[in-house]
Structure 1
Amino acid sequence: MSEFTPHPLPSGIIEENGRRKMIDAKGREVPIDLVKPQDQLMDEQVRKIAGYALALSDQLRRFKAHTFEDISDF
């Protein structure tokens, strides 16, 4: 199995004036202590998956570009 490094993404936690917040689905800032631990874990998992998806998308874009370049050489 090959190593694959995910695209770096921000943690989703905003620190402002010593207060930690997260953005909810409606775009509102919510104090971190009001966000359920389950929701924090879900956010972390989604960000991890998105990081891999973005890195894979970049890899596919490069593959496509190299493939078209190789084919155009004929």
Structure 2
Amino acid sequence: MDETVEGRLIALRQALALVIAGEGREAILERLEVPVQTGAEDPGLDPGPAFAIEGAAAEERRLLAEAVRRISGD
């Protein structure tokens, strides 16, 4: 499976689990907006697939949080 697709699916699964567990809006946003190190901080580092997956998951979580805030009128 492509690393980007895998990362995005992981993020969506995590968000769905928070909703099913009954977490409130603010708690979900807090979890979605946690900054993640993706390897981009060190330009000499060869990030590899694990960082690609985590980077895609972080981007998907950011997009989800952005959508929640837009829908909520924040």
Q: Which range, TM-score by smaller chain? A: 0.3 to 0.5
Q: Please identify the structure whose Cα radius of gyration is greater.
A: 1
Higher relative contact order (CA 8 A, sep 6+): 2
In terms of fraction of residues, the more strand-rich structure is 1
Give TM-score, length-normalised by structure 2. Answer: 0.39
In terms of fraction of residues, the more helix-rich structure is 2
